[in-house]
Amino acid sequence: MVSNIGWVTYLLFGLMNALIAPLVWYLYPETSNRSKQEIDLIFAKGYVEKMSYVTAAKELPKLTDEEVERKATAYRLMDDQNNGKVEAQISSHGAGSAQS
């Protein structure tokens, strides 16, 4: 079966890889050694302020854990009454019950 594959198949495969490589380079976000919580803040800032996520990432400096918590509270990513847990928000939206 492999012997029936012609040069066109290899050309098509090579062209697809060549076309996808720039898309990956420009469209996939670079985390730049940021934590998952900082990445979450970047997407929250972009969503709340209706801006590009790239712009939000450039505007947010690298944050310490305490700064991440403060910003997360500001963007309502964390619920102060549950010590930073969002179970109350999840269960109120009908996504199932969250257990601590």
pLDDT top residue among 31 and 70 = 70
- 49 near 58, Cβ under 8 Å? no
pTM: 0.47
Using the 8-state DSSP alphabet, how is residue 60 labeled?
S
| Mean of pLDDT values over 36-48 | 87
What was the pLDDT predicted at 11? 94
Six token digits for residue 77: 């990513």
* pLDDT tens per residue, range 9-38: 999 999 999 999 998 888 886 677 888 888
91 pLDDT exceeds 60?
A: no
State whether the Cα torsion 80-29-55-47 is positive or negative. Answer: negative
46 pLDDT exceeds 70?
A: yes
Six token digits for residue 59: 């505007």
* Number of neighbours of residue 28 by Cβ within 10 angstroms: 8
Using the 8-state DSSP alphabet, how is residue 83 labeled?
T
Residue extents of the structural domains in the chain: 2-92
